[in-house]
Amino acid sequence: VTTAATTVTALCGGVGAARLLRGLQEAVAPGGLVAVVNVGDDCDLHGLAISPDLDTVTYTVSGQVDGERGWGLVGETWAALAALERFAAVRPGGSQAGATWFALGDRDLATHLYRSGRRAEGAPLSTVTGEVAAAHGLRFRLLPVTDDRLRTHLSVTSEADPAVAEDLDFQSWFVGRRHRGRVTAVRFEGAEEARPAPGVLEALAGAERIVLCPSNPVVSIGPLLAVAEVRQVMLDRRDDVVAVSPIVAGAALKGPAASLLADLGHEVSVVGVARLYASVAGTLVIDEADAELAAAVEAEGLRCVVAATVMHDQQAMTALAELVCRC
């Protein structure tokens, strides 16, 4: 067995990544772990700057996430949201003021109020993210992939007329439409101009190992790789990159990854994931349920490691984290 990596940089989306990070926080020595997180899901509502993937990672690793939803806080109350209902009757058409389709809990609001207040004072997202992570006792560096504007948009066939594609921002599709409709294209607005946030390139270039967490390859990992300098480091360091497949036995454990991959013409299997990641990852970790596809994954040019990748509990998370650090 090779010695476990002592410095790891993890590329993360939301729920799947957060669970592995809980394990990596245990498996990697203090000061050795950096998480670079997607901001393509970020949204501006109620005049607030909301970063769902950064918050899901923060809440999950600090043990406060609502385990059933995978986002937001356990034991949450929704009084502020309920109070907004009063304005629905008077809100002009086209206005998003007081909208309640995106559920913000009372305690979750504290995070958005703090982040928005600091951003209004001119603090970059990466600076505020460090403060929010410290306030939640995270024991590793949490970085947004960029401090610039980077937003995921999807072209979706409209429910009214399938011949017409609508352009939806991520949350309007994921939450507003419950990720229904056929996705015909995904784009990352701002990707050309977006620069890596301070510390991101150093963390990617300097870590012994880079881990691609089991997040949605298209809308969670995609935005990270859309930042040109991030992608270039991944291409250069492909042999030190270990990816964990978010697809197990032809399905995603949570969220729309399977239908999204299918809509965009990718094979919904660990082989499809291997093809997507072949240029940026030298190793793909797949679940035991897909063991018979290991040879097909290796035929795509990646080393394949079979392991238990479905993280039911903390012990399973830590075990998978230890494996990705030493495999």
Q: Are 305 and 285 in contact (CB under 8 A)?
A: yes
Among the candidate windows 26-34, 129-137, 170-178, 303-311, which touches ligand FO1 by CB under 6 A?
170-178
Q: Are 10 and 28 in contact (CB under 8 A)?
A: no
CB of 309 vs ligand FO1, minimal distance in Å: 18
Q: Are 146 and 39 in contact (CB under 8 A)?
A: yes
Instruction: Pick one of 57, 104, 207, 253: the residue that binds ligand FO1 (CB under 6 A).
Output: 104
Instruction: Pick one of 57, 71, 181, 203: the residue that binds ligand FO1 (CB under 6 A).
Output: 71
Among the candidate windows 97-105, 137-145, 148-156, 287-295, which touches ligand FO1 by CB under 6 A?
97-105
C-beta closer to ligand FO1: residue 129 or 171: 171
* Residue 14 binds to ligand FO1 (criterion: CB under 6 A): yes
Report how many residues bind ligand FO1 under the rule CB under 6 A. Answer: 16
* Residue 140 binds to ligand FO1 (criterion: CB under 6 A): no
Burial class (CB within 10 angstroms; exposed 0-12, middle 13-18, buried 19+) of 172: middle
* Residue 246 binds to ligand FO1 (criterion: CB under 6 A): no
C-beta closer to ligand FO1: residue 72 or 181: 72
Phi, psi (rounded to 5 degrees) for 68: -75, -45
Among the candidate windows 116-124, 141-149, 167-175, 275-283, which touches ligand FO1 by CB under 6 A?
167-175
Tokens of 165: 């594609």
How distant is the alpha carbon of residue 145 from its chain centre?
11
CB of 225 vs ligand FO1, minimal distance in Å: 17
CA–CA distance, 35 with 13 (Å, rounded to integer): 10
Sheet holding 151-157, edge to edge: 165-169, 151-157, 183-189
CA–CA distance, 186 with 173 (Å, rounded to integer): 11
Cα atoms found within 13 Å of the Cα of residue 133, Cβ hemisphere only: 22
* Residue 41 binds to ligand FO1 (criterion: CB under 6 A): yes
Q: Going by C-beta distance under 8 Å and a sequence separation of 6 or more, which residues neighbour residue 152?
A: 40, 41, 169, 170, 186, 187, 188, 189, 219, 222, 223
Instruction: Pick one of 80, 175, 296, 306: the residue that binds ligand FO1 (CB under 6 A).
Output: 175
CB of 186 vs ligand FO1, minimal distance in Å: 14
The most distant pair of C-alpha atoms in the chain lies apart, rounded to whole Å, by 66
**Mask for 186-225, x = binds ligand FO1 (CB under 6 A):** ----------------------------------------
As a whole number of Å, the CA-based R_g of the chain is 19
Q: Could you say which residues in the range 49-68 bind ligand FO1, by CB under 6 A?
A: 52-53, 55-56
Q: Which residue ranges make up the site for ligand FO1 (CB under 6 A)? A: 13-14, 41, 52-53, 55-56, 71-72, 102-104, 108, 171, 174-175
